[in-house]
Amino acid sequence: MDHRKIIHIDMDAFFASVEQRDSPKLKGKPVAVGGGHERGVVCAASYEARKYGVRSAMSGKKAKELCPDLIFVPPRFDAYKEASQIIREIFHDYTNLVEPLSLDEAYLDVTNNHYNIPYATQVAKDIRSKIYERTELTASAMDERVALDPTDFGGKPEEKELVTRLHQTKEGIPKNGIIIDATAPLEHVVGKILKKCN
C-alpha cells in the first residue's frame, strides 16, 4: 500500500482578505466582493460579514438585508491573480506535485518535498508562514492521508469507485504520486489522473 503525505491549503476569505489588505478602511469591516449592483451576487465575504450570515453566491440584496452595514466592493481579479501566482510559487518551492483547485486552494503532495521535511504538518506550517510573509494574507492547511487502497476509504462511494478504478489500471499509476481531488466530480478527477499517467 502506498501512503502519500498530502496537504490541502486554502486561503482564508481570499478575495475579501485581498481587499481588506489593500484598502485599510475596509479592515475589520463587513465586506462583500461583488453583489453591489442590481441583481448582483456576492462572490466573497469577509469574516466580519460572515458573522451576519453573508455567504458567497448569495444575492447582494439578501446580503444587505442580513448585514445593513455591509460594504460592497467590485472584484479586482488582477489583484487576486497576482496573489494566487505568489502562493503557487511558494507551493512549487516545496513540491512539483501541486493540484490547484481554484485561485486560492490546492492539494500538495509533500511526500518527497524539496526541503526533505519529514512531517507534513511542518511543511504546512512553513508554507503558511511564507504565504503570510510574502502576501500578508492568511491560509489554512489540512493534512490529508491518501491511501491507494479502496478499503481505506470508508466514506463516499464515488471515492471508493475511484480508487477501485485506479487499482484496475495500476500499471498506469505513476509511482511518484497521484493526488486525489475529492471535491471534483469523479470523471474530472479520473480524467486528470489518466492525463498524468500518460
What cell was used for 122? Answer: 511542518
Compare residues 102 and 164 and give the one whose CB is closer to Mg ion: 102
Interface with Mg ion includes 100 (CB under 5 A)?
no
Q: Which one from 105, 158, 159, 171 is the annotated catalytic residue?
A: 105
Please report how close the Cβ of residue 60 comes to Mg ion at its closest, in angstroms.
20
Pick from 189, 130, 119: which is nearest to 161 by CA? 189
Please report how close the Cβ of residue 84 comes to Mg ion at its closest, in angstroms.
11
Half-sphere exposure of 10 (CA within 13 A, CB side): 8
Listed ranges 8-16, 28-36, 49-57, 125-133: which one lies at the site for Mg ion (CB under 5 A): 8-16
Please report how close the Cβ of residue 17 comes to Mg ion at its closest, in angstroms.
9
Compare residues 105 and 126 and give the one whose CB is closer to Mg ion: 105
Q: Provide CB contacts within 8 A for 145, sequence distance 6+.
A: 3, 4, 5, 6
Which strands make up the sheet holding 31-34, listed edge to edge? 42-45, 31-34, 71-73
With CB under 5 A as the contact rule, the residue among 19, 48, 99, 104 that binds Mg ion is: 104
Please report how close the Cβ of residue 11 comes to Mg ion at its closest, in angstroms.
5
Q: Output phi, psi for 149, to 5 deg.
A: -140, 120
Question: Does residue 105 carry a catalytic annotation?
Answer: yes
With CB under 5 A as the contact rule, the residue among 6, 7, 9, 11 that binds Mg ion is: 11
Quick check: 30 and 96 in contact, CB under 8 A?
no
Compare residues 14 and 107 and give the one whose CB is closer to Mg ion: 14
Other beta carbons within 10 Å of 77: 11
Number of residues this chain uses to bind Mg ion (CB under 5 A) = 4
Which residue type does 51 have?
Answer: K
Active site amino acids:
105
Site residues (vs Mg ion, CB under 5 A): 10-11, 14, 104
